[in-house]
Structure 1
């Protein structure tokens, strides 16, 4: 599944203007965590707080007294195929409800003799046949089983079927149910999405089954390992089209309850997990690939979006990415078609339903006249992510959700390779650093992090599963797979994937199976490693966190230690590896070539790493490894001096790495904050995107901590001092902002330049961008603002304006037919400095007619990133938590709410407010439980950091802005 509520790059960059950019960083830091814990001897952790530090405590899983009181299927039966017929109503009934009716026949095999059948059914009204909810029939001559009783067990969402005598092992049976349910707007299961076209309200019936919502659409064995073949039939109005995972026959005209309808039947699916099912009934249009293509590729969206060509880019890149993936996996695309559909209401970024991928509109649609380069990258990246799943996740699926990282971490990593192939000038393989790896490190350096892979028994309930959809699973998963691919080589990695997919196609696996096939490829290629793939990689997936590698360039000593951002935090999560990793350390000296050192113990020595007084050593070249690097003070000073004298001698990724490592090491008390700040002094000569992105991300944290204090003035002055040359550089090479640079990363840095300049008060910047906005207000139908700049321009104009500017932006957002444009305006509306406008905007999130449910956390997070709006957003969340919680949307939704609103918390009073919020809403936290605990840990770390660094930070910035350099 594509990621959920992470702010887009345009919104994040706009945030530099008024500290809005910090929202993206803090949300990445505060994304929700599961209670997933490590394998084997590990015990699950339930986090509790204390004022001085964050301390986990342990519980043990309870054993249910009865099978239906647990959350796992007993495995005594296994489905073979389903026949499902559904009829969604696209108009409300007399009670104002949208409903669907349907029936399901599942043919299953009895694995072990049993007198109990459990099948999932959630929020469905099941018709009774006499005294029971099902009809049960024996097949192939087997007698019809005698049913004793049936009932629904809501806590575990089981339909319980007790029999008078056992089913026969090896026998085949048929279970029939007839049901109806609500086609609600909660974005889960079978739900409705709404939009307006030519002044007429339109309703789409669509699905989101992952992870545990197929049971909301029809009774089914709703676990990944319960693969089956699905025969889907949809009944729908004559003016609509029906889509599902496989190809369909021509619709048949039928009459039901006096209504003229269509019935569309679909070809049997491949054998697949129920969470990958999808069906859509809509009035959308489509474009498709040329007829000579082997695979039918279609892009579906609202008719106006298709007419405007918003699907063209997605169609073009789908073919390129599929070609890359077929070559990368050495395996043909496993289906006959690939439908991709953009939905107005969707809780995540996208979902990899096999053959019918569903997307949020901003993740699939692109308009070159209105969308930014960030929007374009997002479309390419999400398409590549979801197509990667067609093999890795769909063809071969994890056995249980505890290994979700196998699906999502892999798809995240490969998505960058796919886009790099489709857009070779973008340097996408470099952009994985800021987009995934740095964010994952920020999260994984906390005591409340979790291992990539957990024990099955620790991940049982749906809310526990939902919490796994976090940045550890996606971004850290991608980072460790990237590291693995690098040290065994990409060619060997790809070869191992091919044999893995070939052996396990249409079945389920655990991570051991992947290690086995990669080891086979390593052995065949003769790659030398310090140990087996399994021994090396289990250190990275079965324990949380990562190491900081410290190199003493005076002695050649090298050591590792579990890195924690807050050194006062106490980690009591057991690790059989004692928080020790087998670390591939790449390094180079002044003017030397890249070398490799395997750190296999806590400490080691490499005398080749010793340097002279005027030399420097750099480790983790291009950040290939998932670890931070610390040096002795002499090498730090030499690296900073090199950056100051000739920064281009340091690879661009490592210039970003030095900055990010230094700031995080300073927060963890390995080095001083003044040394970390010194790594940014060379930026007045830097024009590359990656170092500036790392710097603004880390400096935004300092701004968040001090933007309500006297320290803010010198900080802002320093940003103005360092940012002015960058602003002047882009003013010069773009003919005073009239042109757009050709390079993808230069376009990002151009936006950074103007955002930073306006936010820090560079002369002429504010007048430039507010002038553009006023020109648009004068001609609303002629927006000449370059799409790359719009987030920045909109935010700055609204921040410096009043009701007139706010109302104009609100009206233009309501009229926007392009989702990415609406998102830019939505983010900017939170920049206003007028409390009454902020309050009005926050309350709009409670009205889906004004702000879609999927967008509520984005609005609240953007308001909270505004210093004026933050306390208002916090009060709003506390007053309306119950309603926001019931909005649905899962872990991404709730994490965005809490992560954004608590980003500035740095006082004991705010910490106690968080504690009170947790206590007051103990029964209404669900998937947000770990997000609250994370916010508390972050707040406590912020309190300690501010107390210890306030004076040093003030003096350093004051000195740097008053001295000539």
Structure 2
């Protein structure tokens, strides 16, 4: 589909006028949760017109007038009609006189709005202070299309303008916006007027302002601005919690300075504020100069936080700082190109974390997390291209997913590996400099990279961004030295219709023949449906494709070759990333029918001596997937799978122990937690006994040392999964209520979902939708209730019974709503479940979550077919390997 055709279908504003500058004044009422707004917008008249259409949502315009700025004497014209279109979220202002093309005017609007509790637009967020009192702050979330809830605007990313922002607020409140404060005037009656400096040219979705009782900590970069001045970096939080921002502040100071060097462009603002928001739908939002975060993504308590929070914070801060250039300085021209923002920020966020935390092995974690998440979603027929046509605002939320973020980042990683990191970053710098303060498309990035590399990047990358899916390479050995490699689209269903298999991808094969063989085929690229590849002479018959897992594809080896790769694992011939990739491919191929589930189980048996956290993450993921799909199979079968899991971890639990030391590195700490979690799920008696012992010391004797923060969530899960009753449930609930930071609360909330008694499951369900649980956190409660086989069906029935409440709560935050739906249903494995789900949604409003529903139903269908096909295969394997009597 051509670019022009896509634009013709977009629901965009008329081009008769365009804004150049906004002067905005807001007066929030933090008692009645309303606000008064006043704006003056300087506009260019591009066509003779009597009307102006702009975006408005849940705003009531009180008056509007237009002043012709080209006349010597000011003459204003009041709007004679204001026509709202709630479906398109617009208001059309009609004036008594036509304004001529080529002139300029100022549009003056007075209006009112609401400070909603939906986490969108200009909204309120509540929290408890140190004394237990409920307090409120007001904040903004405008991406993707919610600036229109705060001020009438041209709310499209390509319609950039500058902004002067003023807030009239209580005198004792901290007031923040994108730019620094230029004046603060006391008005009397406990109010003050705060004016901010003019912003650079920017999109409406990046405008931000916050009012609250906030404290902060501060640091400076040595330089980094055009004028050589240092950049102020602050972390804000509700007063009393700001000290937990120390880790994030340290990361931000280093990363901001590093990105100035990497991108070759000074940071264009005088400051960068980062704010912890108690109620926040996304993980974070890259508002220019005023980045907002969920509290769990920025605040770290050294005494009580899990070490994984450090990685989450370091990555999230790096991701959002990358956006200050890639997204804010240069913005996608339309939401079709969202991946330019999110895919690149995901890649470069990991790039920065690897720079400053090399011992975390971040790229291996990327392979088992981001990369595999992308391939799982993109193996569905209901997936979408990286560049996906977006026409209506309701469609935008559905592309904030693993395709735009994780597949986008994986494609960039593949391209960077092929071109070389130095050349790739040179192309990025060229792209940013050419399009600074403007908008760009994917083609613009390819052009910049082509200029720097000398390669026709668009020719071989367009298929990756504009076509859905990715290939599986089937490898046949016609002779020991001759490989026949054929590509076709990989679908987890294993069923490919001819019209779904028309793409021929550009695939860098990444052939590895082992450390002792020098060859010239490592850079071989597959550019056709099938090739014959001649291997050079070598000492052994070892080979593998997609070395280090930089290519976005799966490899389907013969069973004999997979067996040999298992032997290579034992001999230490496979790199960490290669081991992750081999396990992941075996799992995906078993699901789809290219291979068998028994092949996966046999292959994993070869990892009995494995001691790397990142490899165990993939093992846990694949075995967990089997357990989830087999959860309603006969008890002996399910118990046999648990026995296999126990056998794998029996050596490691006693070796790693339960004690955490200050000297433990990140990966050792993470491995210990993961292995105990696997062993606990597998009903390992010693693990369950130790978990109970430590839980009782922690809850009954207040011995905090008995349950290190790294293991608390796992122990809560084990205890409730293995006989925990009212006493244990109440103890975990008490931890939730008394925890001071968001990540500690989430650990307890997650644990509550593993209750086994129906009455306790219902308590956990009711608690999940209670006022005690933040709206953005309900998904965490539902995630554990779905992971718990005992509560999986009760959760879905609960959602059906409470649909109206859930729909009302999340209909304004569609990306979160869609993820909640997925969490509730996509682990089922029966055609009966599909019938039930489709019947339930047949007469309900599904606008904005259609793709999530399609993907969930397809996933269930894949599970059902997989289970039917391989249930006997798994039973036979368990018998032959001694796990089933």
Sort the TM-score into its range (normalised by shorter chain). over 0.9
CA contact (8 A) 1:615 1:638 kept: no
Aligned-residue offset at 1:680: 0.1
Aligned-residue offset at 1:580: 1.0
* Partner residue of 2:649 out of 712, 723, 746: 723
Worse-matched range after superposition: 853-862 or 602-611? 602-611
CA contact (8 A) 1:147 1:162 kept: yes
CA contact (8 A) 1:252 1:262 kept: yes
Aligned-residue offset at 1:909: 1.5
1:410 and 2:344 aligned = yes
1:587 and 2:511 aligned = yes
Distance 1:560 1:642, change over 3 A: same
Distance 1:185 1:738, change over 3 A: closer
Cα deviation digits, residues 907-947 of structure 1 (max 9, x gap)? 122111111122032x2x22221111111111111111111
CA contact (8 A) 2:116 2:123 kept: yes
1:77 and 2:10 aligned = no
Aligned-residue offset at 1:793: 1.0
Equivalent residue, structure 2, for 1:231:
164
Equivalent residue, structure 2, for 1:422:
356
1:942 and 2:850 aligned = no
Aligned-residue offset at 1:112: 2.8
Aligned-residue offset at 1:570: 4.7
Equivalent residue, structure 1, for 2:623:
699
Equivalent residue, structure 2, for 1:777:
699
Distance 1:321 1:607, change over 3 A: same
CA contact (8 A) 2:39 2:109 kept: yes
CA contact (8 A) 1:447 1:569 kept: no
TM superposition score normalised by structure 1: 0.87
Equivalent residue, structure 1, for 2:533:
606
CA contact (8 A) 2:221 2:253 kept: no
Distance 1:264 1:115, change over 3 A: same
Please state whether the residue corresponding to 2:399 is helix, strand or coil.
Answer: coil
* Partner residue of 1:190 out of 109, 112, 122: 122
- Tell me the matched-pair count: 866
Q: Distance in 2 between matches of 1:633 and 1:336?
A: 60
Please state whether the residue corresponding to 1:596 is helix, strand or coil.
Answer: coil
Equivalent residue, structure 2, for 1:686:
610
Distance 1:620 1:609, change over 3 A: farther
* Partner residue of 1:671 out of 595, 598, 613: 595
CA contact (8 A) 2:57 2:89 kept: yes
Please state whether the residue corresponding to 1:86 is helix, strand or coil.
Answer: strand
Worse-matched range after superposition: 190-199 or 831-840? 831-840
Equivalent residue, structure 2, for 1:110:
45
CA contact (8 A) 1:865 1:900 kept: no
CA contact (8 A) 1:39 1:542 kept: no
CA contact (8 A) 1:740 1:747 kept: no
1:483 and 2:409 aligned = no
Distance 1:641 1:285, change over 3 A: same
1:305 and 2:241 aligned = yes
Please state whether the residue corresponding to 1:935 is helix, strand or coil.
Answer: helix
1:866 and 2:788 aligned = yes
Q: Distance in 1 between matches of 2:835 and 2:128?
A: 45
Aligned-residue offset at 1:144: 4.5
Equivalent residue, structure 1, for 2:330:
396
1:498 and 2:498 aligned = no
CA contact (8 A) 1:188 1:207 kept: yes
Equivalent residue, structure 2, for 1:511:
442
Residues 107-146 of structure 1: pairs in structure 2 closer than 5 A: 107-128=42-63, 134-141=64-71, 144=76
Q: Distance in 2 between matches of 1:740 and 1:654?
A: 31
CA contact (8 A) 2:329 2:436 kept: yes
Cα deviation digits, residues 483-537 of structure 1 (max 9, x gap)? 11110011011111111111111001111111111011102xxxxx5xx100111
Aligned-residue offset at 1:600: 0.7
Equivalent residue, structure 1, for 2:227:
none
1:642 and 2:568 aligned = yes
Please state whether the residue corresponding to 1:684 is helix, strand or coil.
Answer: coil
Cα deviation digits, residues 790-845 of structure 1 (max 9, x gap)? 11111112333111111121122112111111110010011111211221221233
Aligned-residue offset at 1:890: 2.5
Q: Distance in 2 between matches of 1:907 and 1:431?
A: 32
Aligned-residue offset at 1:250: 4.2
Q: Distance in 1 between matches of 2:544 and 2:42?
A: 61
Worse-matched range after superposition: 327-336 or 141-150? 141-150
Equivalent residue, structure 2, for 1:350:
284
Q: Distance in 1 between matches of 2:305 and 2:690?
A: 21
Equivalent residue, structure 1, for 2:315:
381
Please state whether the residue corresponding to 1:589 is helix, strand or coil.
Answer: coil
Distance 1:739 1:955, change over 3 A: farther
Equivalent residue, structure 2, for 1:220:
153
Equivalent residue, structure 2, for 1:654:
578
Q: Distance in 1 between matches of 2:348 and 2:99?
A: 45
Equivalent residue, structure 1, for 2:731:
808
Unaligned runs of 5+ in 2: 224-229
RMSD: 2.1
Equivalent residue, structure 2, for 1:958:
879
Please state whether the residue corresponding to 2:735 is helix, strand or coil.
Answer: helix
Q: Distance in 2 between matches of 1:738 and 1:267?
A: 49
Q: Distance in 1 between matches of 2:542 and 2:612?
A: 22
CA contact (8 A) 1:320 1:421 kept: no
Equivalent residue, structure 2, for 1:326:
260
Equivalent residue, structure 2, for 1:277:
207
Q: Distance in 1 between matches of 2:568 and 2:29?
A: 67
Q: Distance in 1 between matches of 2:306 and 2:538?
A: 46
Q: Distance in 1 between matches of 2:8 and 2:196?
A: 43
Distance 1:860 1:237, change over 3 A: same
Cα deviation digits, residues 358-387 of structure 1 (max 9, x gap)? 000000001111111211100000000000
Aligned-residue offset at 1:740: 6.2
CA contact (8 A) 1:611 1:617 kept: no
Aligned-residue offset at 1:784: 4.0
Q: Distance in 2 between matches of 1:624 and 1:39?
A: 30
CA contact (8 A) 1:704 1:903 kept: no
Distance 1:781 1:633, change over 3 A: closer
Which structure exhibits the higher relative contact order, with contacts defined as CA atoms closer than 8 Å and separated by 6 or more residues? 1
Cα deviation digits, residues 38-66 of structure 1 (max 9, x gap)? 656999xxxxxxxxxxxxxxxxx997xxx
Please state whether the residue corresponding to 1:939 is helix, strand or coil.
Answer: helix
CA contact (8 A) 2:819 2:852 kept: no
1:296 and 2:217 aligned = no
TM superposition score normalised by structure 2: 0.95
Aligned-residue offset at 1:589: 1.5
Please state whether the residue corresponding to 1:746 is helix, strand or coil.
Answer: helix
* Partner residue of 2:715 out of 793, 798, 811: 793
Equivalent residue, structure 2, for 1:630:
556
Equivalent residue, structure 2, for 1:931:
852
1:199 and 2:135 aligned = no
Cα deviation digits, residues 682-733 of structure 1 (max 9, x gap)? 22110012221111111111101222222101101111111111223313xx
Q: Distance in 1 between matches of 2:587 and 2:685?
A: 29
Q: Distance in 2 between matches of 1:62 and 1:541?
A: 20
CA contact (8 A) 2:517 2:538 kept: no
CA contact (8 A) 1:861 1:896 kept: no
Unaligned runs of 5+ in 1: 1-37, 44-60, 64-69, 93-97, 129-133, 524-528
Please state whether the residue corresponding to 1:927 is helix, strand or coil.
Answer: coil
Equivalent residue, structure 1, for 2:185:
252
Q: Distance in 2 between matches of 1:897 and 1:315?
A: 31
Q: Distance in 1 between matches of 2:363 and 2:102?
A: 51
CA contact (8 A) 2:559 2:599 kept: no
